[in-house]
Structure 1
């Protein structure tokens, strides 16, 4: 092949034009001499013709070497090599020579020598050896195309790619060996290079032969236009290198990096499973499924080596019809014992099925889905365990249908790496789910998740923790039913956030319930809480990572009586409540602040407010007003505006307050409690003043019986007479001064006896010989509940009896 086909380079040094030629007869006499020979060696024809070549052209010192070449030439009837020749001016010239014998008509022989400078010959020989190596030895494919893109010549490396011999390529086109899409890509590249003259470098293309379409090769292709120094275009040459392994390694690394960034963006098990399925399709598989063992969904940790039902968490398929034969997302399935999924979990190793058989239960317990999947082209399967910390959480199933090549070991290695990283994300999400559920359980146990209806008030509330991860904080609220149809409304704030603050809050809330059940006044409740907080702080003097130092707490305690419509409040370092009248006027009443809980030594003061029926009482923590870095006055102004709307339900009011004051993620815990007050009508309450005389019990029985008859509760007369008689008798015996009897009819029938004595009644079991001591014991047996509450001027003993549903609504 002409070297000019490959661009500028040394011309053939033995070409007729530039080469030096001479002719010797069989005796070595010069009988022919060319003009280039004269130019190269300096001898004119007259100086050399007819003379022996050894005398004119050979230095005596080189004669022996030249004669060896002559002998080789005679023996082989031709010769090629380098000989030293003497220039006319005497210097030595190395010539590359070719010699051939010719026969004259008289049967004599003459020898024709063609020579050129040795360096030109060496360069030309190097170029020839390069061409020989490119077409015979080079591992990189080389193809030469004519201007019409027909194949002129290919080397042996191309023949290995196509499985055709090098000679079979000549005169054919690329489309005769490659699939049409791949051939069109090659032709487009060659045509662009041929027309523009701009070489293309290292373009990677998919290469699939017609003889083996399932074999996918990635080749790196470079092409350049072939033209001689004069600009004549001979065609285009193309180099082809098989870079399949390198491409797949790079592709796998890129896929692994991409999957690492896409998987685990949230601490949600289901979303992490979906991210895993989407990350491997379609680059690694045509369809992917993620199945997790049931305990993982609940946030629990599966037992090591355990198997069992798994829930399908994610399915992602490039062919949409593939999703129809997969187990639907959300379904719980149990794979057969000899299925790849089951073996993967039990053996804790990946399973590779290069060829699927519908007779084997690889998809589900029944063969129908497997047969349908095979009809859709599914031919290869990988099942990889999702294992973290040595425990299998589930499986990742990978199917291939569109690509004809089955999964191979390198694909399995990549799937294992992706699955191992995804398993850590799933395990983190599982552990978060476990901790979050524990926190929610703690929250539900510490806060009233449902506030029952109460005759004294209609209630609505909101709770927003600052830490959304745990879902709990140090703020709390409470609605506690008290005796006499009264109700206690409580809002408190423990300094700090998170689980520790919530635990402390739970202890304080429990204490509030206990103190409220003792019917203590608000200031007494806060005084006892103050002592408790002081003890808690002393218990935690040593500050460590597991027991942060307890700083303090604030609290607002209010008791509302629907009979008198009096609300008694006391606060310990807490913000005052907001009161909204039925016509929508908002005010912040003056309630003595009191010191925060835990300081000790300072008294708490109470304030009494008379509230019209239908008034709103809003209790809140400081996180509501101080959100968004606003000052307290601005927060109060916004709260007033949010509460001032009329004609709204309590839930709508709570939502309006949230929208007006709270950001999406508050910086502090927030508790909001809103109560709309109710009042008992006069016909539901009966009161009698009784003298401190022996006849008081009889008068009380008569009055109670008459009132029960008016209320239509005659069936309760006997029991009520006994209770009233015992309570009044007890007050007459141990107290001084007049007594007051009050009956309240609502959901229960409440009997209250007030006296001026602070003596605490107690129930005791009388002996058989005792004449008295059985009164309170009898009351406890007849009543649903009973108790004592103290006021500044004395005490009230009360007892409750349940009413039937018909009587309570009469």
Structure 2
């Protein structure tokens, strides 16, 4: 096919150049033999002429030869397959055409055309005319180029991709007929085929062609070398198939797959919005903005929109191929207020998408100044094709995603469908992040209500605390710390932990913290506090269904967020004499940093975790020098490093405490940073308390004999002491009454020693110790009763009062507020 062929000029039958012709008489005798027939069957002319043609065929074909001769005598021809026999006896399958003709002398004859079939070929070789019909009328673009890559032939189907009719292509190259095409890449494939003879099948070219200059298309090309009889290259032919739909479908799936991988990796609203913009550029658009309603960023439920007023949104994400956009366009967090009746507001109120292939510059005043920026900026960059897709999830509109593209490649309906699929997937992630924001804010409120915002004022210890949760997103965990002021200037220091993480563990922690504070209010010894706490946890575990076989049970024997298996250390420090009493339930023992900087650990018996049962809790008592630092912590502080053994953890803590500064608050943070440099595997709570001592002049104590006559002496002694302290007359009077009632009650109802002690700290405390084992009860006497008014009077005069038991008896105390504190 060296040039163009006229349509409709196809010849019927075999060409002489393609088949071996031979001539028969009407009876089937061979009358004419050719060189081609000799080459095909091996018989020479002398052997074949005068012989029946049927003798040269296999048995079945020989038997039907008479029928074929009858067809020819009737003026009909026949085309089909035959099996001939070579001179050497080997059969050969041939395509045959038997047709009536006229011999040179005018006598009737039969023309037989034989064409050998190649191995694996079904049917018989087509004539050149038939082949021309196939390639000329084929809907697939076909072209032939010479060794200089210039067109020498092309079919009509190639014209649909532009470049003119076939005759106008002759002598031109690809770059001449498709100037916008990457012709170098295509011709590189052509030269490779010409040089190597290797066929290239399925080469995909993506770009713009003359038939679609404004949009990107994809074509599948295949190249095959053409050779002459000597095997030298004559040129090549190639086929072209439009696969744009398949290419765009593949791009669409790839973009949606990428969206599934990259959007929603966090539960942060702003991050999710930015991920949506990052995925859409450049795969779908040149510039993308994501604007969300203010209520969505706060985690609240968006209110229905009417479109009657300007709708303010906040720029939550953006992505652009251009670096020269103004900051007002790309600033994350900037407020964008869209005007009434603008396309964005219409999309927000209707929940439907909007697309425009070519924007009118006069219609781009959507917002206060622009659709997120200046109109001139978008026009200068050529961003005039736009799509606006509302972000909707679960029937709620959360915001808008706006896609911009250059005018040379406007958005079409398929692009809008893809954008809607992309945004709908991202919308679910945005809504999940919104809901999580709401839950997280609620959880943080819960946490702030459970952990102390600030430590209560007191003069027993200087304290600093640090808390680091394992779940940094929620900021919640089951560890807690607390400082509880007790009577007589004492304080209780508590650190504990609940199994699990998150809001369930925090709620369980709040229950324990409340229970500890309640037990501390009745001033029980540390081991009794833990014993009562253990009973409470055990009962709550049964009430919550924490039974054997419960699938929700977590580590430590309890359910996620259950208090069963919790740990706690409870310490009571008395600044009057420096005594420190403590007990632990499944919790690490405190460390002590002496005033000289040496670090030690309290030898504290380890009781069982709360609610799991075991031996009774034991308490130890140590005396701490003034300026000692008591270090209470949860086990998360030690569970980091290559060796998680307790001794190794203690050694790391020792080194961290030895290097701390004198200031307590920075030291607390330094210790946590040194032992937990990254996100912890478990929640971490650290409480450091530096001990103080009350000055001797702040305490006054007297031993009293168990004689009712000493009550008057006790009042006079108290009056003298209050005078030395400079207490005002009104407070001296009420204190004398309190002393009189408490000492009288101790002498009347107890036996043995009686001790009176006054403590002047932030409050004025009056204590009376006796050896009795029964606690007094507040009664409400009737008008005619002679007794029972002592404790009622105490409760009315004191700010608060109570009873606590000590090894040698009990102490009844009453506390009054002072107008001034001791300097």
1:391 offset after TM fit, Å?
2.5
The answer to whether the 8 Å contact 1:317/1:323 transfers is no
Query: Secondary structure of the residue that 1:296 maps to in structure 2?
Result: helix
The answer to whether the 8 Å contact 1:788/1:796 transfers is yes
Look up the match of 2:230. 230
Which of 696, 705, 708 is 2:723 aligned to?
A: 705
The answer to whether the 8 Å contact 1:221/1:238 transfers is yes
Q: In 2, Cα distance between the equivalents of 1:774 and 1:17?
A: 137
Structure 1, residues 199-220: CA drift from partner, whole Å, max 9, x if none?
Answer: 3222111353457521432111
The answer to whether the 8 Å contact 1:642/1:653 transfers is no
Look up the match of 1:161. 161
1:282 offset after TM fit, Å?
0.7
Q: Which deviates more from structure 2 when the two are superposed, residues 720-729 or residues 151-160?
A: 720-729
Distance 1:161 1:94, change over 3 A: closer
Q: In 2, Cα distance between the equivalents of 1:599 and 1:150?
A: 90
Which of 626, 643, 651 is 2:657 aligned to?
A: 643
Tell me whether 1:317 sits opposite 2:320 in the alignment: yes
1:768 offset after TM fit, Å?
13
Q: In 1, Cα distance between the equivalents of 2:169 and 2:139?
A: 17
1:317 offset after TM fit, Å?
0.9
Q: How does 1:356-371 map to 2 (within 5 A)?
A: 356-361=359-364, 364-367=367-370, 369-371=374-376
Q: In 1, Cα distance between the equivalents of 2:609 and 2:20?
A: 112
Q: Which deviates more from structure 2 when the two are superposed, residues 661-670 or residues 188-197?
A: 661-670
Q: In 2, Cα distance between the equivalents of 1:541 and 1:797?
A: 42
Q: How does 1:23-422 map to 2 (within 5 A)?
A: 118-119=113-114, 126-135=127-136, 137-162=137-162, 164-210=164-210, 213-303=213-303, 309-322=312-325, 324=327, 326=329, 328-361=331-364, 364-367=367-370, 369-401=374-406, 404-422=408-426
Gap runs ≥5 in structure 1: 6-10, 22-32, 48-58, 70-79, 83-92, 102-109, 709-715
Q: In 1, Cα distance between the equivalents of 2:324 and 2:333?
A: 19
Look up the match of 1:576. 589
Which of 739, 751, 771 is 1:728 aligned to?
A: 739
1:94 offset after TM fit, Å?
6.3
RMSD: 4.7
1:566 offset after TM fit, Å?
1.7
The answer to whether the 8 Å contact 1:20/1:36 transfers is no
Query: Secondary structure of the residue that 2:363 maps to in structure 1?
Result: coil
Query: Secondary structure of the residue that 1:587 maps to in structure 2?
Result: strand
Distance 1:653 1:351, change over 3 A: same
The answer to whether the 8 Å contact 2:564/2:610 transfers is no
Q: In 1, Cα distance between the equivalents of 2:789 and 2:720?
A: 24
Look up the match of 1:506. 510
1:506 offset after TM fit, Å?
1.7
Distance 1:190 1:600, change over 3 A: closer
Q: In 2, Cα distance between the equivalents of 1:585 and 1:63?
A: 125
Which of 442, 445, 456 is 2:446 aligned to?
A: 442
Q: In 2, Cα distance between the equivalents of 1:63 and 1:717?
A: 149
Tell which structure's C-alpha radius of gyration is larger: 1
The answer to whether the 8 Å contact 1:734/1:757 transfers is no
Query: Secondary structure of the residue that 2:626 maps to in structure 1?
Result: coil
TM-score (norm 2): 0.77
Distance 1:166 1:207, change over 3 A: farther
Query: Secondary structure of the residue that 2:338 maps to in structure 1?
Result: coil
Distance 1:215 1:732, change over 3 A: closer
Q: In 2, Cα distance between the equivalents of 1:567 and 1:468?
A: 35
Look up the match of 1:533. 537
Look up the match of 2:57. none
Distance 1:586 1:151, change over 3 A: same
Distance 1:234 1:744, change over 3 A: same
Q: In 1, Cα distance between the equivalents of 2:532 and 2:680?
A: 31
Q: In 2, Cα distance between the equivalents of 1:484 and 1:503?
A: 32
1:20 offset after TM fit, Å?
9.5
Distance 1:383 1:767, change over 3 A: farther
The answer to whether the 8 Å contact 1:13/1:19 transfers is no
The answer to whether the 8 Å contact 1:741/1:753 transfers is yes
Structure 1, residues 686-740: CA drift from partner, whole Å, max 9, x if none?
Answer: 56678824254344334322332xxxxxxx5233322322222323443337653
Which of 703, 716, 728 is 1:717 aligned to?
A: 728
The answer to whether the 8 Å contact 1:265/1:272 transfers is yes
TM-score (norm 1): 0.78
Query: Secondary structure of the residue that 1:379 maps to in structure 2?
Result: strand
Gap runs ≥5 in structure 2: 6-12, 24-31, 51-65, 80-95, 117-122, 554-558, 748-752
Distance 1:291 1:743, change over 3 A: same
Distance 1:436 1:638, change over 3 A: same
1:619 offset after TM fit, Å?
1.9
Q: In 2, Cα distance between the equivalents of 1:177 and 1:552?
A: 81
Q: Which deviates more from structure 2 when the two are superposed, residues 300-309 or residues 428-437?
A: 300-309
